[in-house]
Amino acid sequence: MAKADRLERLDAHRADLEVEYREALVAALKVCASGKWGLFDHNADRHARAFVAPVIAHLAELGAEIDAARETLFMEPFELQQEFLAARGPVDSQSVGEPKQAKAWLERLAA
């Protein structure tokens, strides 16, 4: 019975962390959508990276904790984090800019 209680508490904690991750990501996306580049690291600009580094570190920390809880609970990795990580990095010159990409993410997350 103790194991079931522990797993139930872990699942509740995981759910809280996922809400916190989503809120932190939405806040970062709003800053990016307002014109501040760096969240998606498309330009590899060191000033933009320095500005957004604490946000990325916080998201990575939350994501690692969420994934550890999900692994213990035999769940798939946290999909939102996987999608965000996949969206970061260099892109070709035909891709939309980070502010437009952030707006699209915000619309998708609001739906």
93's tokens: 């010159």
pTM: 0.92
- 3-state SS of the chain is CHHHHHHHHHHHHHHHHHHHHHHHHHHHHHHHHCCCCCCCCCCCCHHHHHHHHHHHHHHHHHHHHHHHHHHHCCCCCCHHHHHHHHHCCCCCCCCCCHHHHHHHHHHHHHC
Mean pLDDT over residues 106-111, rounded?
A: 94
- The pLDDT assigned to 44 comes to 79
User: Mind listing the pLDDT tens digit for each residue in 32-80?
Assistant: 999 999 999 998 789 989 999 999 999 999 999 999 999 999 999 999 9
Q: Is the pLDDT of residue 1 over 70?
A: no
